[in-house]
Amino acid sequence: MVTISQLAVVPYINTRVLAGRFLPSLAFHDDGWRLWIASGNQRELLIEMKGVPAEACYFARQAEAPGDLRLPFFEFLAQRANYLQLQRAFSGIQDDIFNLSGSLAKLALLEQSHAAVPHGLSRMATSEVEYIIMVLRSLLDLFQEVMVSVWDSVALFDSCIVKRKLKDSFADMLTYKGVPSTAGKIAERFGLPIDIATCYERGRTIFDGLKRLRDNVVHRGSQVPYIFGGDGQFLISLKENPFPDIGIWNETERGRNDLLPLLPVIEVLIYRTFLICDELSAAYQQVIQFPSPIVPDMSFFARGYFTSRLVNAVESGARRANYAPLEPANNSTDSGHKV
């Protein structure tokens, strides 16, 4: 295994703060690519190589390409919460991010496949939507796994606060005996500062949205999917909106019978899932002194075959967060779309 002293040849790493922590990437962009790999029978050799990574995470002062993704919570995990015991959870979150980008690309490919697959595309889209929901829930639970480990390891200055073990499941943080918990109740149950508890309470909007989409669109006890496929983009009914109290679409996107594009729903879910992780990581950093970044003056990016779609989804979801909710229109119930 490569030692910390060997890593001193990499000019970007602060090796003084590496003890007890893992290095999430040995790829750097700084006026060109610089890449190192661990080699040898026991990965005891550190070798610099030439190349351009196709799918990888890397450190840089700015994104090498517009389609490379930077997420504040992911950078926090890579730079400051990268304790050795959390490497598996970090790898899982990294896979979830790349898999989400692949699923967005598959949905776009399906929308372009009507000529090749004249029947059944809606069923294929439904299965992909369910997978996206599963990945987003997985990401939240893996992030929660990190927070549980971090919370267990710190001591609070205020001795009046009784710190209790956090729940491993993100969903279990939001309820008590099946009843939704307020921020105050969450703070009381776990000894959390109210700012962190408030972030968890806001996370219920995301979690409920994921559940509604799964219940309303994916599992309705019917053999007919509730995703409509015509000659272009996939559509869902306005009444299946998983966020009835917030905006997702603008009026120009409304079609016959209140049918609206599916993709904006996915984009809002992805954006809001990432946002709650961003807010929680920022809140925890306000009360816990994490170690210094392992790569000072650089940010952490993910680049892959389809990460540009994830970048576009996050930007679209953030923009749509300011839309006003649409009201149902009175029109025919004939969708006019094949399913």
Q: What is the DSSP letter of 313?
A: H
In the predicted model, is pLDDT for residue 9 greater than 90? yes
H helices present in the chain, as ranges: 72-79, 87-111, 121-153, 170-174, 183-190, 194-213, 263-287, 307-320
For 41-53, the pLDDT digits (tens) are 888 899 999 999 9
Q: Which residues pair with 260 in a beta bridge?
A: 236
How far apart are the C-alpha atoms of 322 and 34, rounded to whole Å? Answer: 40
pLDDT at 338: 40
pLDDT at 230: 65
pLDDT at 218: 67
How far apart are the C-alpha atoms of 331 and 239, rounded to whole Å? Answer: 13
Which helix H or strand E contains 64, and what residues bound it? none
How far apart are the C-alpha atoms of 103 and 108, rounded to whole Å? Answer: 9
For 51-100, the pLDDT digits (tens) are 999 999 999 999 999 999 999 999 999 999 999 999 999 999 999 999 99
What confidence tier does 118 reach under pLDDT thresholds 50, 70, 90?
confident
How far apart are the C-alpha atoms of 290 and 146, rounded to whole Å? Answer: 13
In the predicted model, is pLDDT for residue 133 greater than 50? yes
Neighbours of 164 (CB within 10 A): 12
What confidence tier does 224 reach under pLDDT thresholds 50, 70, 90?
very low
pTM of whole model > 0.85? yes
pLDDT at 219: 67
Give the mean model confidence (pLDDT) for residues 19-27.
Answer: 96
Neighbours of 314 (CB within 10 A): 18
In the predicted model, is pLDDT for residue 301 greater than 70? yes
DSSP-assigned letters across all residues of 197-250? HHHHHHHHHHHHHHHHHIIIII-SS-SS-S-EE-SSSEEEEGGG-S-TTS----
pLDDT at 223: 47
pLDDT at 337: 44
